[in-house]
Amino acid sequence: MLNSKRRGLLAFALLGAAMLAVPRLLSGRGTEVAVHDSAPGFRILKTDAVSLRMDPLIGLDSTQSDDPVAAAPADLCAALFGGGIYSDRPQVAYFTDANCPQCRILDRWLKDVPPSEAEITVHDLPLLGPSSVAAARAIGAAGLMGSEAQMRARLHRSRVSPNPAYLREIAEGLDLDAGRLLANLERPEVDARISQSLGAAAALGIPGTPALVIGDVVVIGRIEQAQFDRLLARYRPAPCMPARAA
């Protein structure tokens, strides 16, 4: 365990490193798709409209937190796209966070993309603090009751931390059993779902939200619908996708 002095010095050093690194990550509007340096077979596009996790001490004292941890995916495409890996439709993974302002902008049109154009798998990637983790858990808990999308839409409109009292209020509005919803927060499937999303994001070097994986293209940061449509028109399957039967 770090003593307070050493922890303070380390925090200062890491914060300084983060301040130097972030401008490089955020520079440029991001119009060019490039080869992904750390994910073989994938390409990458970065924009400057991204919300990053800014806590440089995350992971230094993990014994003090019960937050979900990243689980390295055994099958990256299955983790990204679920059952969609067996579909002939273009596959898109969307990483979002209830506290991400850029995600709310992207949500406005992404939800209206027809399933015939793309099959979108949504990942709740809670990188922006404890309330993000709480929201991701609430969405997962509602998902066990068939109301994942409704809970996500409700929490993405709110800036209130999803505490039990607030979740009870939301449950009533969604006609859900509040007691069951709160009990579901402790189900292992809920944390496993978040851990899988964290692991898939880590495997692709995704440091913040929003992020999209459009076939073999990893998009870090918000893009406009016209750019999404262009990437979809040039869609190539992710390199981890299973080969189609002849």
pTM above 0.85, yes or no: no
Q: Indicate whether 25 belongs to any domain.
A: no
pLDDT of residue 60: 39
Domain residue limits at 121:
46-51+71-233
Q: Indicate whether 99 belongs to any domain.
A: yes
- CATH number of the domain that 129 lies in? 3.40.30.10
E-strand spans in the chain? 34-35, 43-46, 51-52, 91-96, 119-124, 208-209, 211-214, 217-220
Q: Indicate whether 148 belongs to any domain.
A: yes
Closest CA to 185 of 201, 162, 169, 154: 162
Rounded-to-integer distance, Cα 60 and Cα 63, Å: 9
Rounded-to-integer distance, Cα 121 and Cα 212, Å: 10
- What spatial distance separates the first Cα and last Cα of the chain, rounded to whole Å? 56
The kind and range of the H/E element at 166 are helix 164-173
Q: Indicate whether 18 belongs to any domain.
A: no
pLDDT of residue 12: 31
As for how many domains the chain has, the answer is: 1
Q: Indicate whether 60 belongs to any domain.
A: no
Q: Indicate whether 240 belongs to any domain.
A: no
Q: Indicate whether 207 belongs to any domain.
A: yes
pLDDT tens sequence for the chain (246 residues): 434 433 343 333 333 333 333 333 333 355 689 999 999 999 999 999 999 875 544 433 444 467 899 999 999 999 999 989 999 999 999 999 999 999 999 999 999 999 999 999 999 999 999 999 999 999 999 999 999 999 999 999 888 889 999 999 999 999 999 999 999 999 999 999 999 999 999 999 999 999 999 999 999 999 999 999 999 999 999 999 987 655
Q: How many residues does the chain have?
A: 246
71 three-class SS: coil
Cα-based distances in Å from 246 to 26, 78, 130, 153, 243: 43, 21, 48, 40, 9
Q: Indicate whether 65 belongs to any domain.
A: no
Rounded-to-integer distance, Cα 232 and Cα 228, Å: 6
Say how many C-beta atoms besides its own lie within 10 A of residue 115's C-beta: 9
